[in-house]
Amino acid sequence: MTITNILLIIAVIGLASYVIYYYIKKKKNAEVEVAVDVDDKTYTIEKMIEFVKKRLDEITKINLYDIGLSEEELKRRKNKKYELKKALKGCTYGDVNDKKYVKELIYDLLEKEYGVTESNISKAIPFDIPSLLTAQDKFDILIYAYKKEFGYEALTELIKKYNLAELKYVEGETKPSYVITKEEIEDIYEKENIVLSFADKLAVVVQRIYQHYKGYSSIDEVRDMNIDGISGRSIRFTRKFLKPSCSNRWRLSEPSCRT
């Protein structure tokens, strides 16, 4: 056998080894490699919900034994997979810790994989143009800001500060009821003059995505609030106003004209 043949064999073995190594490495990182096709709708809530659903489904269903992991790495990822499955199940029943776990994962997926930045996040919710914010947008921002300061007493503090637990007459009804109107939300939002960082904006977007994916729609965040300390009538009131209706009132019992 000539030296040329020996060198050729070594080259072939080297190339084959590299191909095998590349294939194993690619499979090992398969669950975090995501190609995002960017267009005008990429950073809308709807598109991000689709992405989150797909990624979480991939993470929970991937076969970890088929991607060449070390024993230590296999154990770590098995635990992560188990925790995610447990959290996805638990948050369906309203467990606040499971909800927090899932939201933190969604936050990381959007920031690190999906490419949400300060420059494109307003395509999801127009934070920088108040006139384009819906009453739902403004309410979500208000609750987020109050929750940062008051935790699960956020709704109680908001109601107390602006005397929202009052009987009101609304157009089309002959009897007063406990509601919060679109106009009240907009007035409060203007008075609060809330300034959000990018992290704050992304947290609000994550909550919006979560509540449509695993939560309870418009009332999701408020379900976790401590409202028993207000008063009997305020509790009934808060259970009613949380869903926007086409008549600009917030009621749980009426159909939503927009999510």
Percent of the chain with pLDDT over 70: 73
DSSP 102-159: HHHHHHHIIIIIS---TTTGGGTS-TT-GGG--HHHHHHHHHHHHHHHHGGGHHHHHH
- Residues near 58 by Cβ (< 8 Å), separated by ≥ 6? 31
Alpha-carbon dihedral 122, 126, 130, 135, rounded to 10 degrees: -140
Are the C-beta atoms of 223 and 94 separated by less than 8 Å? Answer: yes
Highest mean pLDDT among 69-78, 156-165, 200-209: 200-209
Residue 109 in tokens: 């997926």
The per-residue pLDDT for 231 is 38
pLDDT at 251 over 70: no
pLDDT at 143 over 50: yes
How many CB atoms are located within 10 Å of the residue 114 CB?
21
pLDDT at 233 over 70: no
Strand partners, 239: none
Residue 79 in tokens: 């635990």
Which of 8-12, 19-23, 215-219 is predicted least confidently?
19-23
Strand partners, 250: 244
Distances (CA, A) of 259 to 7, 97, 178: 67, 25, 22
pLDDT-based confidence at 1, cuts 50/70/90? low
Are the C-beta atoms of 256 and 247 separated by less than 8 Å? Answer: no
pLDDT-based confidence at 167, cuts 50/70/90? confident
Query: What are the pLDDT digits (tens) for 14-57?
Result: 665 654 554 445 544 444 445 566 677 899 999 999 999 999 99
Domain ranges within the chain, ordered by starting residue:
47-115, 127-238
Query: What are the pLDDT digits (tens) for 68-110?
Result: 788 888 888 889 899 999 999 998 888 899 999 999 999 999 9
The per-residue pLDDT for 97 is 93
Residue type present at position 210: Y
The per-residue pLDDT for 247 is 43
DSSP-derived 3-state class of residue 27: helix
The per-residue pLDDT for 53 is 95
Q: What is the DSSP letter of 255?
A: P
Question: Looking at residues 167-178, what average pLDDT do you find?
Answer: 79
Residue 74 in tokens: 């296999």
How many CB atoms are located within 10 Å of the residue 94 CB?
13
Strand partners, 249: 181
The per-residue pLDDT for 109 is 96
